[in-house]
Every structure is written in C-alpha cells, then in structure tokens.
Amino acid sequence: MEKQHFFLLLLCLAIVVIHSANAQVPAVFILGDSTADTGTNNFLNDSSTPKANFPPYGIDFPHSRPTGRFSNGLNSADFLTKLLGFKRSPVPYFVIEKNTKFIKRPSFRGANFASGGSGILDITGQQMLGLPFFGYGNNASDAGKNVVTLSEQIEQFSWVCSNLTAIKGAADAETFLSKSLFFFSVGSNDLFGYYYSKSGVSREQFLSSLGQTYENHLRNIIKLGARKIGIFGIPPVGCCPSQRFFNQSGGCLEELNSLAVDFQGTINSMMGNLSSEYKDLKYSIGNAYAMTINVINNPRLFGFRESKSACCGNGAFNGGGICDSSAKLCPKRQHYLFWDMFHPTKAASKLAASTLFYGDSRFAAPINVKQLAEA
C-alpha cells in the first residue's frame, strides 16, 4: 500500500472512531415506567412504591450493585443512551433537583424522570394497590407519593427547562431542546390497571381515553420545546410470567395482548396527527409488541433459551412471587428473556434497544432512533 493511501485510511478510521465516540444528540430526556427507571423510585419513601434497590437486582451491574433498575443489569434506556453515543445514562431528575448545578455543567446530557409503577394515566400508580402482585404494600390509604406520575414527570421536566433557559438564554435553550431526544416508555401499567379493575368502561372507550391522555402529555412536552420524540409501544404484557401464572394452560393472557396491539394503532395514529400539526416534529415509534413476540416465539434465534419463565421469582413460570434474596434464581441469566415476573433481562433490554435503534419498519417506524438522532 502506498504511504498516502495508508495515511488516508488511518484518517478515515480516526474520523469514524471520533464520530462514534461523540453523542449524536446534545441530550436525552427519558420518561416512563419501570422499563426505563434508573433510580427515580429510590427517592420515594412510600411503603407501596415499587422498588428494585436490593439484591439480586443489579447482580450483573458493575460490582453487582442494585441501583433501583428493575433488571439484573442495565435497562433499555441505558442501552439506548449508549447507542446514541453517550458514556452513561442521564442521571435521575431527583439528583438534579438536589443539586441544580448539574444543569450548569457543560457535560449536562439530560435527565431521567421514569418511575416504576407509573402509567399514562395519573390514577395508574395508585390504582395498582391491591391488584394481584402490584402493591408491594397493600394499604390504599398509604397511596401518597408512591410513584411519580407522567404528569409530574413532565412538570419536573419543565423545571429543567426553566433552569436551562435561565442558564443558556431562551434561544440557545430552545435549540438545545429541539435537537435533544425525548424517549417515552410507558403504558403497560395502564393496561394492567384496566384489565384487573374490571371496570364497566368498554375497551374502545378506555383505549381512546388512554390515547387522548398520552396525546395531551406529548403536546405539553412539545410546547416545552421537544421536537425529536421516541416512543416505545406496549409489549405483549399478557406473556409476562406474572400473567402466564394465571392461565391454567400456561399460555399468555390474550385480552391483555390484544389491548397492547390495539394501542399500538392508537399511538401510530396519534403521532401521525401530531406531526401533521407540528411540521418540525420528528418521531420514531418502537413496536415493542412485534419485537417481543418474535423473541417469545423463536427464543433461540436471538440467543435465548427460555422465553416464558422469569429468571428470578417463585411459583409457576417464576411468575407467582417477587424477586428478592429468598427467590429462586436461574443459573444462566443471559439465556432468559424475563428477569422477574414483569421485566426483561439485561440481555433482552440490550436487544430491544438495538432493535429500536437500528430496526427496520416492522420494529421502528416511520424511522428508527438512529435516523431520528440524525434527522
């Protein structure tokens, strides 16, 4: 090889390396439930707050540290942030609230507001008390600050916004936010809440009001400056080990899955409508249902061995008891799709994040998160 060519090749490699080490968006703001919570609920004191800050949660996290993530290691929000080029996940909002200097730092890269147990509806965190396996305490009169609702998460984001504006000035803050990625992973708990409340509301009415409420949240965040939105749809929640547990034949609970499928349609329609109203809005919708059902049906194709039972838990499918130090724990965690009776393993979360990031239109539409970041 000629010297010059060799030099050019090196230069190209160097550019590729530098480029991939740099984040593609200035910041990431993460909202939602336990699938994206990186420690929010550690800051809540209510006895009924869903928590995951004890072993064996975090067993595959550096130093086997339980962090509050509902996973044996990192979750999808963490992996997605890594794929976007960040070294680590943005800190929980409560860390920033305690020290607003965080926002002043040039290294400010966003915040995570997601809170385990929350839903699209404000009542969802409260309503779950008393439902099978939801209340980690079952005392409805305790239902004070058990979760940070999505409404409250957006209110917290508005504080970050006003701090950003005070620091950067209105124009720079607006640019910063319009280029940042907003990632929503929420909705499963609303479906559980509806299904188990056996309310008289028809499924059509319920899905439509759930969609309407989601749309209001999105309008609020758009008003605050968001222009790049990633939405993770609802996975086949009827196939969670906690739900198979209730099916004598061991199958998934069909009605829960069907609600998830129908709500994906609602999300598609809602985002289509919002983007025709806000011309500069860009978005990517992850079809968590399609991704997950694919793995459930063909676990080996994706490097898994077990897609029905949880790694950590008790009872049938390890779906009948919570994951704690006295639960049964599987030996090979990387072989499992489910870590506990509701949540994916680190391996499954990594697969979900990369499918959202690189996936084709079956899994991420109209564009994937990589394209959204570059848009």
Ligand X SMILES: *[C@@H]1O[C@H](CO)[C@@H](O)[C@H](O)[C@H]1NC(C)=O
Residue 280 CB contacts under 8 Å (≥ 6 apart), including other chains: 178, 227
Instruction: Name 92's bridge partners.
Output: 112
Q: Which of 284, 285, 31, 271 is nearest to 155 (CA)?
A: 31
Of 23, 60, 66, 97, the residue at the interface with ligand X (CB under 6 A) is 97
- Residue 41 interacts with ligand X (CB under 6 A)? no
| Positions marked active-site | 34, 340, 343
Cα dist. 6→13, 15, 19, 95 in Å? 11, 14, 20, 48
> By CB under 6 A, which span of 82-90, 158-166, 339-347, 348-356 interacts with ligand X?
158-166
Q: Which of 330, 331, 337 is nearest to 304 (CA)?
A: 337
> By CB under 6 A, which span of 41-49, 118-126, 221-229, 301-309 interacts with ligand X?
41-49
Q: How far is the CB of 76 from ligand X (least distance, A)?
A: 25
- Residue 251 interacts with ligand X (CB under 6 A)? yes
- Residue 266 interacts with ligand X (CB under 6 A)? yes
- Residue 122 interacts with ligand X (CB under 6 A)? no
Q: How far is the CB of 247 from ligand X (least distance, A)?
A: 4
Of 163, 294, 345, 368, the residue at the interface with ligand X (CB under 6 A) is 163
Binding to ligand X by CB under 6 A, coded x per residue (else -) over 100-119, reads x-------------------
How many residues bind ligand X, per CB under 6 A? 23
- Residue 247 interacts with ligand X (CB under 6 A)? yes
- Torsion over CA: 252, 80, 210, 197 (sign): positive
**What phi and psi, each to the nearest 5 degrees, are found at residue 268?**
-60, -45
Beta strand spans in 128-273 (E): 181-185, 228-232
Cα dist. 342→18, 63, 179, 199 in Å? 38, 24, 33, 23
- Contact 341/242 with Cβ under 8 angstroms? yes
The residue type found at 353 is A
Rg, C-alpha atoms of the chain:
21
Binding to ligand X by CB under 6 A, coded x per residue (else -) over 329-358, reads ------------------------------
Beta strand spans in 172-240 (E): 181-185, 228-232
- Reduced to 3 states (helix: H, G, I; strand: E, B; else coil), residue 303 is coil
Of 60, 122, 142, 174, the residue at the interface with ligand X (CB under 6 A) is 142
Cis amide prior to 56 (ω within 30 degrees): yes
Q: How far is the CB of 149 from ligand X (least distance, A)?
A: 13
- Residue 92 interacts with ligand X (CB under 6 A)? no
> By CB under 6 A, which span of 112-120, 168-176, 195-203, 247-255 interacts with ligand X?
247-255
Q: How far is the CB of 36 from ligand X (least distance, A)?
A: 19
Applying CB under 6 A, which residues contact ligand X?
43-45, 97, 100, 139, 141-142, 145, 159, 162-163, 166, 211, 247, 249, 251, 253-254, 266, 269-270, 273
